[in-house]
Every structure is written in structure tokens, then in C-alpha cells.
Amino acid sequence: QLLENVRAAKSSERTIATGMAMGKLISKKAVLVGNCDGFVGNRMLAPYASEARQLLEEGASIEQVDRVAESFGMAMGPMALGDLVGLEIFWKQRKAAGDMQKQTKTYMGPYELTDWLCEQGRFGQKTPDASINASGRGIFIHRGRVKHVDPEVLDKIKEIRKTKGVIARHVTDSEIEERLFFPLINEGFRILDESRATRSSDIDVVYIFGYGFPAAKGGPMFYAENYVGLPKLLHCLRVHAAQAKQRYTMNKHFLPVDYFEPSQLLIDCVQVDETGLTTKMPAGVPRVDAVLQVRRSGTAYSHL
């Protein structure tokens, strides 16, 4: 149902208004976004997908990662989603770029498992394998609507762990939930900070109507403020950022990631809370939007 309308550098107001009206005409949820890698939806999805693969390498099972995402309320887990959309999309982009270690705002490592699958021609649901009577093969072996994890994938994960010197550990459901959704939300704060989205509810609309985020949780930005709490989100991001930095600085097999590094906008929102300035902010306005309004007006927080 989603339509992301992209405001380019030279887009006229008439063009933008026409695009938004067209969205309504074709019964889409039209959201105006800025021009950047992945726009809003795919850009936020990249750290979510990256952490899903990283969790597998550390000891979580494929079924556990998908189950946690589904229990949270997502339409499907990240591993099943990869098989649905096709594992080869960003593999082909990196091959075309001539850099298989390349990372952007829309794709980032670890790549070992999905690259191996793509090299075997196993892109997910779109690639049948007659030799095993599979209608599709990727992370899962698909036979119609029924799927199960490919045993060869499990063997490959063990091989990757051995190559990287990783000893599988127990990973809790709560850790998986934090590491999937908190960097996704953090990227939402960055998008707002860069004015690639106008307000937090625009991001919530993108995720509810375009990416299967549970409507009952209000969207990722609403969920962050009203369910998690911004101070807790900030604390957890800092903990995971330190762990991620230790991982890629101590082990050359891991690519660097920065998606756990807290957005300055998130930090500002928490500081406003701590200084008691929230009492001077408009009632009913999300904290992040109120802080953005202050920033965009050029008013110092102390003058609220």
C-alpha cells in the first residue's frame, strides 16, 4: 500500500503536490521523503537484515531469529523475507561495483552466507531445485507454502563460525529483539536528523503500510518513545555499539558497522527529558517532533 514520493533537489511544489495527489488517486499511502540511499524504508531495513545474519554467526538459530521477529508482530522474519524478495539483489550490486566487501546505507555485511548461496544459484523462492523437488531454494527449502531450513545452510554457518574463530553461544530472545529493531529505529532518527523525512509519523506510516511493522505498536518511532522509552533505547544502543566495535576491531573477519552509534537527534531528545524541558513542549506532540521543531526554528532548548 506504500508509495514513497521522493523530493529531489529541483522538484517544484506543483510536482510534489501532483505526486502526492496521484498517490491518493491510486489508493496508496503516499509519504514524501528525501533523496538518499534506500529512501526511508529500505535504508532502515538494512541494519535489521545485517544484524539478523550476524546473530546467526554468533549462535542464534534461523528459526529463533524469525520467530522473535514474528512474535514482535512482523509479517515474517528477516530470513524468510530474504528468501521472498531474493538474496541476489545486493550480491549483484556488489559484483557490478567490483567490490564484494562494499557497504552502503542499503546493504552491509556479514555477507558470507548469502554470497555462498548466490554463488550456488540459490536466491530463495524464485529459484526452484528439481533435484530435491523444491519450488524454491535459499536459506530455506520451499515446497509450495511449506518450508524448512536447508541442512546445507546450517553446515555453512558452522563453517563460517570456524573460519572467523567464533564459538556459538546462547542468544536470548530479548537480545535478538533489541539487535533487530533498535538499529532500525536509530536509522529512523538519523533520517529525521537529515530532514529526509518531515515528521516521525511519516516513518511510522512507511513501516506499517510498506514493511509489515505491527500497527498495534504504532510504527517504529512511536514504539521507541511510547513502548521502549528513549533513555532505554539510547542506553541499549550504546551497549551494542561497544560490543560491535570490539567485534570488528578485534577480529579482521568482521566488517565495521556504525548503525548502533546513537543518532544525535536521539541524544538530544533524551537530554531534553533529563533537563526537564519537556514540560515546556506542546502537549500531544511526539518528543522527537518537538525537538525537531525547535532545531528547525533555530531556538535554543534553554529558551523554551
Q: Helix (H, G, I), strand (E, B), or coil: what is residue 256?
A: coil
Query: How far apart, in whole angstroms, are the C-alpha atoms of residue 180 and residue 47?
Result: 8
Per-residue pLDDT tens, the chain, 304 aa: give them. Answer: 999 999 999 999 999 999 999 999 999 999 999 999 999 999 999 999 999 999 999 999 999 999 999 999 999 999 999 999 999 999 999 999 999 999 999 999 999 999 999 999 999 999 999 999 999 999 999 999 999 999 999 999 999 999 999 999 999 999 999 999 999 999 999 999 999 999 999 999 999 999 999 999 999 999 999 999 999 999 999 999 999 999 999 999 999 999 999 999 999 999 987 776 665 677 788 999 999 988 888 765 554 4
> What are residue 197's phi and psi, to 5 degrees?
-140, 150
H or E stretch at 147: strand 146-149
CA 173 to chain centre: 18
**Interatomic CA distance for residues 87 and 150, integer angstroms:** 15
